[in-house]
Chains A and B, each alone.
Chain A
Amino acid sequence: MIDIRDLSVVFGSGNLRVEAVKGLSLQVAEGESFGLVGESGSGKSTVLRAICGLAPVSGGTIAIGEKPVSVPRKRDFFATVQMVFQDPYGSLHPRQTVDQILSEPLAIHRMDNRDKRIVRTLTDVGLGPTFRFRFPHQLSGGQRQRVAIARALILDPSVILLDEPTSALDASVQAEILNLLELLRKEHNLTYILVSHDLAVVAHLCDRMLVMRNGTMVEETDTEHLRAGEAKTAYTRALMKATEGFTRAEPATRTELQ
């Protein structure tokens, strides 16, 4: 479904030249959920932005469904590939109601049955029609992210790019959103690329994953290897250790401190 070969993304030129992604290749099958993991600044979000045309592609090829993507992207590309952003507080227009936010893609793509589609999509993401005419400031973070997911879903895409969809939410809401994403993937036969710095989130949602560091591929692995604690590179092991969280060392005794 998604075939990226030797992708590189370069921002700026001269002294300000930054190679955000260097020679990255990945293949994702239809209906698969693929994870991109790495620390901040490893270029994982840039890969997503390059796929959908928000970041410049300086080398390599991107193909969606066997067809190489056009530059600039055409309208049918956006009907196939949609994205959910990290921060639900910044990704919804502050002066538009949920209804306006969801109507806009339908108007751009000249779809019919708009009322029905909006109500159905809202129900799909677990919000229901009572939320339809609210403004974003009347919604909680989790509800906002559901609206953002509904906006990505309303065009019936086959690929959804998820850019840290849960990192701005608190833990209990994170699980809800992850379960919703998993459910939607099964119902709509979606293909996901999930970007996260949290191995636990990726392991929850994805079968295969790619570990990135400084814009390069470190290791491709899958959930089973991860669960078994088998990682080929030291960096992945460090990342796994970081995900386990902060474990308290044995408290120092008073005598030791003295």
Chain B
Amino acid sequence: MTGTFERTQTLREWLTDNEPSSRTQARFGRAYLSWRSLSRNPLAMLGLIVVVGLILVAIFADQLATQSPFIGGDLRTERLQPPSAEHWLGTDSQARDIYSRLVHGSRLTLMIVVLVTVIAMPVGLLIGTVAGYAGGWLDSVLMRITDIFLAFPRLILALAFVAALGPGIENAIIAIAITAWPPYARIARAETLTIRNSDFIAAVRLQGASTPRIIARHIMPLCLPSVIVRVTLDMAGIILTAAGLGFLGLGAQPPMPEWGAMIASGRQYIIDYWWVATMPGIAIFVVSLGFNLLGDGLRDVLDPKAAR
């Protein structure tokens, strides 16, 4: 017992050492300090637990699901059953177990969130930093394009893209990503404008660094925290847009267990069989709230200006 205690003590000392002796130690020490201030925020930790829970459920969906998400039971006797010991969250109109469908639906939700982030964040970051650093006509052109995308209501623009590309989960992801990047570009540009004339950027220019190098290695790392915070806060919106597209029948197609599509299928039974639409609704609510809480906590850690 004392042995482990001593080891954690030295580990903490190693992490908080004011004179790190290697690159790794300096990096870990910095990460540790961020983690410590994040873990002091109970709501952020709650959000983190929800997000980690979502990831775990998605990974172990096959083990956690009690029944098949696609194949239902007997349509005469097992349709629209209320929650019970056998069907924890009840069954839907096709006699499928709602709990198992929710568990498998977490994979779709996670895929949507991850893919939209992977597509939209680099695009927004690149356009914003280039526009902010270059200035002049390039800035005007890039920012007017951003304005055009911002001028459309998000769901309507996504609808238009899905209508053009055809319904389906992949096209829904592309459509959401196309509508998600402008705010990131705005934030990255604003951040870039505040640092582009600072002395440390002038110093790198005086070392002979090329413009792409300055943007990629010196400006982007400083814009990244605020963009990450914004992305985390947007994830709830992304999930809701995906669910909205699914609800309208333009996202995931049956029989995929997408949460929005599940709500849509429960709509016609909502008065008599409330659990069909409510259960996926709760799932969307919990995951969106988790991402929002985590995003708020991350803002306090990553963006010292916004902290109290």
Name A residues whose Cβ lies closer than 8 Å to a Cβ of B.
52, 54, 73-75, 77-79, 82-83, 85-87, 90-95, 97, 99, 104-105, 108-109, 130-131, 133-135, 138, 148, 151, 155
Shortest Cβ distance from A106 into B: residue: B207
Asked if B222 and A94 sit within 8 Å, CB to CB, the answer is yes
Main secondary structure of the interface of B (DSSP, over half): helix
Given contacts A82-B207, A105-B208, 5 further A-B contacts (CB under 8 A): A97-B20, A104-B217, A133-B23, A134-B19, A135-B30
Asked if A138 and B18 sit within 8 Å, CB to CB, the answer is yes
Asked if B203 and A91 sit within 8 Å, CB to CB, the answer is yes
Of B21, B26, B208, B218, which is within 8 A of A78 by CB? B208
Please judge, given known A-B contacts A95-B221, A133-B22, A134-B19, whether A104 and B202 are in contact too, CB under 8 Å.
no
Shortest Cβ distance from A77 into B: residue: B208
What are 30 A-B residue pairs whose CB atoms fall within 8 Å in the complex? Answer: A54-B205, A54-B206, A74-B208, A78-B206, A78-B207, A78-B208, A82-B207, A83-B206, A85-B203, A87-B199, A90-B199, A91-B199, A91-B202, A93-B200, A93-B204, A94-B222, A97-B26, A99-B26, A104-B207, A105-B207, A105-B208, A108-B209, A108-B213, A130-B19, A133-B19, A133-B20, A134-B18, A134-B19, A138-B18, A155-B207
A135 proximity list for chain B (CB < 8 A): 26, 30
A94 proximity list for chain B (CB < 8 A): 200, 222
Shortest Cβ distance from A155 into B: residue: B207
Which residues of B136-166 are within 8 A (CB) of A?
none
Of A92, A97, A108, A133, which is within 8 A of B208 by CB? A108
Most buried by A among B21, B199, B222: B199
Shortest Cβ distance from B205 into A: residue: A54
Main secondary structure of the interface of A (DSSP, over half): loop
B208 proximity list for chain A (CB < 8 A): 73-75, 77-79, 105, 108-109
B21 proximity list for chain A (CB < 8 A): 130, 133
**How many angstroms from the CA of A95 to the CA of B221 in the assembled complex?**
8
B63 proximity list for chain A (CB < 8 A): none
B202 proximity list for chain A (CB < 8 A): 54, 85, 91
Q: Does residue B25 face the partner (Cβ distance < 8 Å to A)?
A: yes
Min C-beta distance of B14 to chain A, whole Å: 13
**How many angstroms from the CA of A148 to the CA of B23 in the assembled complex?**
20
Min C-beta distance of B25 to chain A, whole Å: 7
Shortest Cβ distance from A154 into B: residue: B207
Min C-beta distance of B210 to chain A, whole Å: 8
Shortest Cβ distance from B19 into A: residue: A130
Min C-beta distance of A258 to chain B, whole Å: 53
B19 proximity list for chain A (CB < 8 A): 130-131, 133-134
Min C-beta distance of B172 to chain A, whole Å: 36
Min C-beta distance of A92 to chain B, whole Å: 6
* B195-235 vs A, Cβ < 8 Å mask (1 yes, 0 no): 00011101111111100010001100110000000000000
Asked if B30 and A93 sit within 8 Å, CB to CB, the answer is no
B18 proximity list for chain A (CB < 8 A): 134, 138
A85 proximity list for chain B (CB < 8 A): 199, 202-203
Min C-beta distance of A79 to chain B, whole Å: 7
**4 nearest CB pairs, A to B:** A91-B199, A78-B208, A133-B20, A133-B26
Asked if A104 and B209 sit within 8 Å, CB to CB, the answer is yes
**How many angstroms from the CA of A68 to the CA of B208 in the assembled complex?**
18
Shortest Cβ distance from B202 into A: residue: A54
Asked if A134 and B20 sit within 8 Å, CB to CB, the answer is yes
Asked if B207 and A108 sit within 8 Å, CB to CB, the answer is yes
**How many angstroms from the CA of A151 to the CA of B208 in the assembled complex?**
13
